């Protein structure tokens, strides 16, 4: 049976409170992963945690403690404030490892889907620059990382979905001079080396799949450890954008668990 989740408030560096829901699975161990989870919504939907969400629940049931944060509410999903708030929650998790996960050695991850995947990628870049070595990995589920929206798979998307993403990018980037910043649009980042290991997930029928594959390739070229999963057509992956938990949701938990185990095996191999 699933364990109940818990609502908390986390104070950001600017003194604002960010709401969050903590998910714990049916089983636990002393060094279970701690996860900051950032949900999508095309930079337009204010996060609402009144009800449990499928993605953080699936990751929690894989053996992690997940902090699903209302990172966009106080910042109206605008860069750079929204990224600063997400990093504040990540810092809270890092500083409360023992309280949340039972061990000061519990690894910390960031996970995000769609627009949340963009924020997660930006958090990983900023963590690399501001507190290197503290983030164990990043899991990006069809991240929105390219504001140009010119890929072949994007052109195949439904026009209403493309318009929604275009509106979202315009809203999110309105304070960015020249429309470019490596933390806001990771595809524009020319310095990806030493960023945390990455798990990227998409599907063959995902309009964002070309962006995902391109970013995975650029991370590999920079020497970053990458695990990539492309689900076949029929897993219902595009339901990610409609908050519909199809057959793909089990794959999310399984891939996260495999990613964590892979990193732990690698760490043991280098000892």
How far is residue 111's CA from residue 121's CA, in Å, rounded to a whole number?
9
pLDDT tops 50 at residue 269 = no
First to last CA, the chain: 37
How far is residue 223's CA from residue 92's CA, in Å, rounded to a whole number?
29
State the average pLDDT for the chain. Answer: 89
Q: How large is the greatest C-alpha to C-alpha distance in the chain, in angstroms? A: 51
- Per-residue confidence band for 7, with pLDDT thresholds at 50, 70 and 90: confident
DSSP 8-state symbol, 242 = G
Question: For residue 42, what pLDDT is reported?
Answer: 94
- Nearest in space to 109 (alpha carbons), one of 212, 221, 259: 259
Phi-psi region of 108 (alpha: psi -120 to 50; beta: other; left: phi over 0): beta
Q: pLDDT of 163-172, one tens digit each?
A: 999 999 999 9
Domains of the chain from N-terminus onward: 6-270 (3.40.50.1820)
Q: What percent of the chain has pLDDT over 70?
A: 92
pLDDT tops 60 at residue 73 = yes
Looking at per-residue confidence, does 195 or 243 come out higher? Answer: 195
Radius of gyration of the CA atoms of the chain, in A: 17
Q: pLDDT of 203-257, one tens digit each?
A: 999 999 999 999 999 999 999 999 999 999 999 999 998 888 889 999 999 999 9
Stretch among 40-54, 59-73, 140-154, 233-247 having the lowest mean pLDDT: 40-54
pLDDT tops 90 at residue 52 = no
Q: pLDDT of 76-116, one tens digit each?
A: 889 999 999 899 999 999 999 988 887 888 999 999 999 99
Question: For residue 179, what pLDDT is reported?
Answer: 58
Q: What's the pTM?
A: 0.93
Question: For residue 1, what pLDDT is reported?
Answer: 42
Question: For residue 201, what pLDDT is reported?
Answer: 98
Looking at per-residue confidence, does 262 or 48 come out higher? Answer: 262
The string over 128-154, giving b where at least 16 C-beta atoms fall within 10 Å of a residue's C-beta and e elsewhere, is beeeeebbbbbbbbbbbbbbebebebb
Stretch among 138-142, 151-155, 267-271 having the lowest mean pLDDT: 267-271
Question: For residue 48, what pLDDT is reported?
Answer: 63
- Per-residue confidence band for 181, with pLDDT thresholds at 50, 70 and 90: confident
How far is residue 21's CA from residue 37's CA, in Å, rounded to a whole number?
10
DSSP string spanning 29-72?
A: -TT--EEEEE--STTTSPP--SS--HHHHHHHHTT-EEEEE-TT
- Per-residue confidence band for 36, with pLDDT thresholds at 50, 70 and 90: very high
pLDDT tops 90 at residue 72 = no
> Are 240 and 40 contacting, i.e. CB atoms less than 8 angstroms apart?
yes
């Amino acid at each position: 049976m699933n364990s109940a989740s818990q609502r908390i408030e986390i104070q950001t560096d600017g003194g604002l409170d960010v709401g969050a829901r903590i998910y714990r699975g049916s089983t636990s161990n002393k060094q279970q992963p701690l996860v900051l989870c950032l949900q999508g919504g095309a930079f337009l939907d204010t996060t609402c945690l009144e009800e449990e969400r499928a993605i953080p629940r699936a990751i929690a049931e894989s053996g992690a403690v997940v902090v699903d944060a209302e990172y966009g509410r106080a910042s109206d999903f605008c860069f750079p404030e929204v990224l600063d708030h997400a990093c504040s929650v990540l810092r809270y998790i890092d500083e409360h490892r023992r309280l949340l996960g039972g061990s000061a050695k519990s690894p910390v991850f960031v996970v995000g889907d769609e627009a949340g995947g963009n924020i997660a990628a930006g958090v990983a870049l900023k963590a690399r620059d501001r507190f290197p070595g503290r983030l164990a990995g990043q899991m990006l589920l069809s991240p929105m990382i390219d504001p140009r929206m010119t890929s072949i798979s994007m052109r195949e998307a439904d026009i209403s979905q493309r318009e929604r993403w275009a509106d979202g990018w315009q809203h999110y980037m309105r304070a960015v001079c020249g429309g470019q910043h490596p933390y806001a649009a990771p595809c524009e980042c020319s310095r990806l080396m030493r960023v945390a290991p990455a798990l990227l997930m998409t599907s063959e029928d995902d309009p964002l799949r070309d962006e995902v594959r391109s970013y995975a390739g650029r991370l590999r070229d920079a020497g970053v450890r990458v695990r990539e999963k492309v689900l076949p057509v029929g897993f219902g992956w595009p339901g990610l954008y409609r908050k519909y938990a199809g057959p793909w949701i089990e794959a999310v938990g399984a891939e996260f668990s495999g990613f964590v185990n892979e990193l732990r095996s690698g760490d043991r191999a280098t000892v």
